[in-house]
């Protein structure tokens, strides 16, 4: 984690936007724009995230502005919370650092017909059974193993592949972003090393900030939207956060090496080698896009298989088929991805651009053609996880997202301290016992994982969500309180 803070210019242009003017550095092609308020900007300036916003503003073909959400913090190349759109027809580039190592890390929310009163007396055995049955942690193998030909099919078809095997429903396909599948995936661009890493990890949670959480809806702020999403106060929900595991990590690593020499080859320079990129229309760019889409499809299958396992646990504990428990998918959204979308790039000009979302959530508004018909009047569900001991939020995409942020919202609370610092802060403490004392049962492979992810390591998610709500990017619908969580 970078230690020095940001000392460059930040001009507040609205209560919820700060601009870094493009004349700050002569290599900037567009302004930088950070969504934040007075309560958050101090912590945002405490690390080098804003300087990474500046670095991204130098990318060839970047449109409108280099953006960052209020959960911004220092990352690899791009900041976490970074958003950038490039125009492929103007030499625009694709950057693995703008997608992230964990390709299509994302979240999905399941509703249930269970009330907290039904679950309160069984929450501990429920969490313990989830922890026993769902593989968590580094290097854990899953119950599902795929041969190379099967993996190729899975990466081509996305979530419909595993649903076709009986591990889900048609609704699970319909209510996933992009139908749980990016077109034009090219598994042939995925290395044998990546395939080997992914062969038995589909259906595993992983480590770091990944989790499966049992929650209670404790507040409804938009009753009509909540009703459409099937949410009400006192209801039990399940939130799943995971991505493409070792397969996606290896794809990113492989292509960072491929892209290392691309700037010199195509005649541009970069302020940070971690921004390694290539023109979208170049052979290197097309190869990465094919592999990235394949890894993204793998990630949707991973979350689907985690869903299948969670449903089976609930069915066992509550002695009813999961269908009778009403465990339907509300929505599934990606956090680390690059996609081709049409957006206004300024001056009333709309064009197709390559939108990088690095730790950022798509937030399409009511009426957008790419969201399920059920959400046509409310807007796309935007799911913002908290930090294990704090609430998560469900929001709905708003028209302001298309005006201000390429249809994008924040993705979480955002780290305030490194994992090393968090472990140091937890010395002599038991985070699991502290959480238990406030009514949250946490199970993990070791105490270090909980220490790294303790709530104190993150910004206040309520403040982060306030910014995107008041900025008109996404609107608060419901607040979800954690009661049980499993982690790697």
Active site residues: 411
CA distance 98 to 76: 8
Residue 333, helix vs strand vs coil: strand
Does residue 54 contact residue 8 with C-beta atoms inside 8 Å?
yes
Cβ count within 10 A of residue 287:
18
Helices (H) and strands (E) in the chain, counts: 17, 19
DSSP string covering 382-408, please?
Answer: EEE---SSS-EEEEEE-HHHHHHSSSE
Residue from 359, 76, 157 nearest 241 by CA: 359
Strands 65-73 and 31-35: parallel
Q: Which of left, alpha, beta for 48 (phi over 0: left; psi -120 to 50: alpha)?
A: alpha
| Beta carbons of 48 and 32 less than 8 angstroms apart | no
Element (H, E) at 24: none
Please choose, from the candidates 144, 151, 131, 206, the residue with its C-alpha nearest in 3D space to the C-alpha of residue 432.
131
Strands 278-279 and 235-242: unpaired
- Residue of 102, 34, 109 lying closest to 66 (CA atoms): 34
Q: Which helix (H) or strand (E) is 307 found in, with range?
A: helix 283-318
Please state, in angstroms and as integers, the Cα–Cα distance from residue 270 to each residue in 262, 277, 284, following that order. 11, 9, 17
> With contact defined as beta carbons under 8 Å apart, do 415 and 425 qualify?
no
Distances in Å between the Cα of 345 and the Cα atoms of 21, 239, 342, 402 are 17, 34, 9, 10
130-to-66, 153, 307, 432 alpha-carbon distances in Å: 41, 29, 11, 16
Q: Which residues contact 100 (CB under 8 A, 6 or more apart)?
A: 75, 76, 78, 252, 335, 336, 358, 359
């Amino acid at each position: 984690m970078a230690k020095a803070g940001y000392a460059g210019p930040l001009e507040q242009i609205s209560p919820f936007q700060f601009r870094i003017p493009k004349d700050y550095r002569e290599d900037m092609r567009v302004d930088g724009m950070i969504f934040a308020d007075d309560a958050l900007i101090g912590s945002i300036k405490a690390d080098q995230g804003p300087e990474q916003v500046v670095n991204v503003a130098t990318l060839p073909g970047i449109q409108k502005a280099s953006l960052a959400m209020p959960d911004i913090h220092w990352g690899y190349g791009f900041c976490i919370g970074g958003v950038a759109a490039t125009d492929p027809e103007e030499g625009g580039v694709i950057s693995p650092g703008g997608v992230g190592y964990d390709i299509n890390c994302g979240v999905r929310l399941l509703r249930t017909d269970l009330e907290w009163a039904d679950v309160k007396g069984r929450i501990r055995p429920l969490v313990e059974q989830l922890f026993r049955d769902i593989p968590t942690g580094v290097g854990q193998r899953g119950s599902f193993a795929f041969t190379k030909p099967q993996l190729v099919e899975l990466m081509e078809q996305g979530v419909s592949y595993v649903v076709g095997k009986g591990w889900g429903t048609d609704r699970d396909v319909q209510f996933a972003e992009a139908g749980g599948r990016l077109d034009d995936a090219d598994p042939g661009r995925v290395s044998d090393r990546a395939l080997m890493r992914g062969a038995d990890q589909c259906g595993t949670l992983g480590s770091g900030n990944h989790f499966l959480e049992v929650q209670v809806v404790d507040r409804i702020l938009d009753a009509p939207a909540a009703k459409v999403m099937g949410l009400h106060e006192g209801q039990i929900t399940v939130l799943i956060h995971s991505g493409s595991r070792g397969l996606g990590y290896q794809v990113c690593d492989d292509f960072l090496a491929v892209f290392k020499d691309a700037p010199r080859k195509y005649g541009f320079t970069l302020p940070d080698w971690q921004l390694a990129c290539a023109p979208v229309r170049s052979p290197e760019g097309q190869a990465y896009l094919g592999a990235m889409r394949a890894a993204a499809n793998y990630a949707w299958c991973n979350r689907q298989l985690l869903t299948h396992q969670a449903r089976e646990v609930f069915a066992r504990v509550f002695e009813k088929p999961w269908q009778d428990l009403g465990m339907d998918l509300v929505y599934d959204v990606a956090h680390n991805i690059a996609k081709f979308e049409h957006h206004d790039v300024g001056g009333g000009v709309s064009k197709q651009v390559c939108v990088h979302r690095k730790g950022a959530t798509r937030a399409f508004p009511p009426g957008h053609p790419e969201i399920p018909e059920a959400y046509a009047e409310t807007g796309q569900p935007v799911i913002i996880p908290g930090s294990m001991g704090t609430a998560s939020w469900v929001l709905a995409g708003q028209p302001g997202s298309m005006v201000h942020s390429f249809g994008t919202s924040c993705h979480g609370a955002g780290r305030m301290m490194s994992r090393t610092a968090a472990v140091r802060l937890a010395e002599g403490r038991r985070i699991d016992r502290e959480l238990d004392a406030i009514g949250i049962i946490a199970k993990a492979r070791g105490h270090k994982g909980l220490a790294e992810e303790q709530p104190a390591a993150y910004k206040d998610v309520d403040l982060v969500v306030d910014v995107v709500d008041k900025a008109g990017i996404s609107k608060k619908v419901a607040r979800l309180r954690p009661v049980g969580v499993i982690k790697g």
